[in-house]
Amino acid sequence: MKAQPELTQVEKDKLEIDPDFDFREIAKRPFEDITPNELAMFKWSGVYHQLQPSFYMIRVVTPGGRMTTEQFNRAVDLAEQYAQDELCITTRQTLQFHWIRKEDIYKILEGMAEVGITTKNGCGDVPRNIVGDSLASAGPKQVGDSLKLIRWMAGDDEIQNQRNLPRKHKISVASSNDALAQTLMNCQGWVPVERDGVVGWKYHAGGGLGARPYLAKAIFDWVPEELVLDVTRAAIEAFRRHGNRRSRAHARLKVVVDQMGAKKFGDVLMEIMQEKGVEGLDTIEYAKDSAPSIGRMSINGEAVIPQQADGKSIVRILISRSELKTADSRTISRLSDELGGGIIMFTNRQNIELHDVPSENTDQLISELHKAGFRTEGHEHLPDIVACVGTTMCKMAVSDSPDAYHRLYDALAGDEKYWKSIGTLRINITGCPNNCAQAWIADIGLRGTRTRNPEGGSIEGYSIFVGGKLSEAGRIAEYLCDVPNEEIVPAVRKVLDTYLAHRETDAELFVDFCERIGIEQFQELVK
């Protein structure tokens, strides 16, 4: 198809460049011969050009965040050979390889494909890795089978073979009415509903963070399970037709849903499904209220969670700064095989869960993990900090997020009495306004900034936001203050000490405290 001259360059590239690159051929080409337009299109294969000109990041696709130890071991082997002995867990429940040379890209893509893991749709203007909550198929409160739906979507050609969307498209499927699946920050979010023993799904659309955050709206209160794929496909088609192709800043489904409203967007989906001849549409029920009602997160700090299946448990492991060294990865995999069920789950807080662990093995497993230097205490509390890669690898970042992570972790995470007195707390650190680390929806979110230095140049720092959540109708964190990099630790400690001094009871969560006192009073208290 001939490129349309009024389109942006990105849109022209989608029409003119075949994204199915032969990376064996790419390995032979000089870097200077690869055009910036081609580099951008590598994303469709999960390949992203790093800040450093000679290196690449590769992101695999793991629907629902689930891997077998065989698949994980292959990733570890490849990381040892080509990625400087390290893997990184993402907030969308998958793995990234960093520091990959152009000559080695195909080796990772082909190596992972041999164990059933693809990198296709890892990045780019496509439906991304379909996520849920890490308790999928195992959690004690699961309704229906969310992992089954995730696999349906991941294996559906109409959903996956989308090469010309206005921008990226993100889907979440929850295992219960629980904020763990981050329903409200995704383009599409599915939540199970049970009526008289029959499982259907409540459908949300229009969430997304980035520089301008939006929370999803409830579109349908009831979608029969057999129509879930039809609705998902229709939403992708609606995005294709109505998404903004002139401004990438506005080219997200969140903008489409916001401009149309929940009812009109639901009408558009119905019209598209009617065009396709989908039957049974009269069984779909529109949402009585577009305001969502997502339950609070059901796990808060547990190291071991009983599974639905009798005699099985989940053991949770905190991964420092989401980074997995080869030796540590091999230890986790070995223990999963010896004492667990050979299943590894990546969480949206960049940690790991071992599933299908015989309950009689949990004490021994935790003991072995501790001997190996792993931490199992502190999930959903102060030690459980999320951070992006920041200026170390990302072209967009303005702050060194890993440095901020280590400052906070080293200063505060070791004081168990202190962080246990605070209770549930989620800190997220993002290096730029694109918000890859989801600062907008954290209890405390740090967003990288740079301010002018009177003596010349600029000073690295962070804007602090408080009170974000993804339960109930959700809430975007509000701006509290700016701090230079050197003052991150005393600033966050001041925020937490203010909360401890002024909360109504020990049971009042930080997020509820923020909502009760309001941002203006909070600003006064920490001034």
| Residue ranges of domains in the chain | 9-113, 146-286, 304-371, 387-526
Distances (CA, A) of 150 to 141, 252, 522: 18, 22, 41
Mutual angle of helices 488-502 and 510-526, in 10-degree steps: 110
Q: Distance between CA 35 and CA 17 in Å, rounded? A: 11
- DSSP percent split of the chain into helix, strand, coil, nearest 5: 40, 25, 35
> CB of 336 within 8 A of CB of 343?
yes
Q: Is 209 strand, coil or helix?
A: coil
Q: Distance between CA 260 and CA 262 in Å, rounded? A: 7
Q: Distance between CA 432 and CA 448 in Å, rounded? A: 5
Q: Distance between CA 412 and CA 410 in Å, rounded? A: 6
| Nearest to 126, CA basis, from 92, 158, 169 | 169
pLDDT at position 387 is 97
pLDDT at position 4 is 47
Tell me the one-letter amino acid at 268.
V
Cα 43–chain centre separation: 17
> CB of 495 within 8 A of CB of 444?
yes
pLDDT at position 208 is 97
pLDDT at position 1 is 39
What are the residue ranges in the chain where pLDDT is below 50?
1-4
Pick the CATH number of 146-286 from 3.30.930.10, 3.40.50.2300, 3.30.413.10, 3.40.50.620: 3.30.413.10
pLDDT at position 509 is 97
E strands, 350-457, where? 352-358, 385-387, 427-430, 444-452
pLDDT at position 2 is 45
Distances (CA, A) of 256 to 158, 240, 266: 21, 10, 12
Domain 304-371 matching CATH 3.30.70.3340: the answer reads: yes
As a CATH number, domain 9-113 is: 3.90.480.20
Q: State which H helix or E strand residue 75 sits in.
A: helix 69-82
Q: Distance between CA 347 and CA 345 in Å, rounded? A: 6
Q: Distance between CA 301 and CA 376 in Å, rounded? A: 9
Q: Distance between CA 335 and CA 356 in Å, rounded? A: 12
Do 146-286 and 387-526 share a fold?
yes
Give 144-170 as a DSSP string.
S-HHHHHHHHHT-HHHH-----SS-B-
Architecture of domain 387-526: 2-Layer Sandwich (3.30)
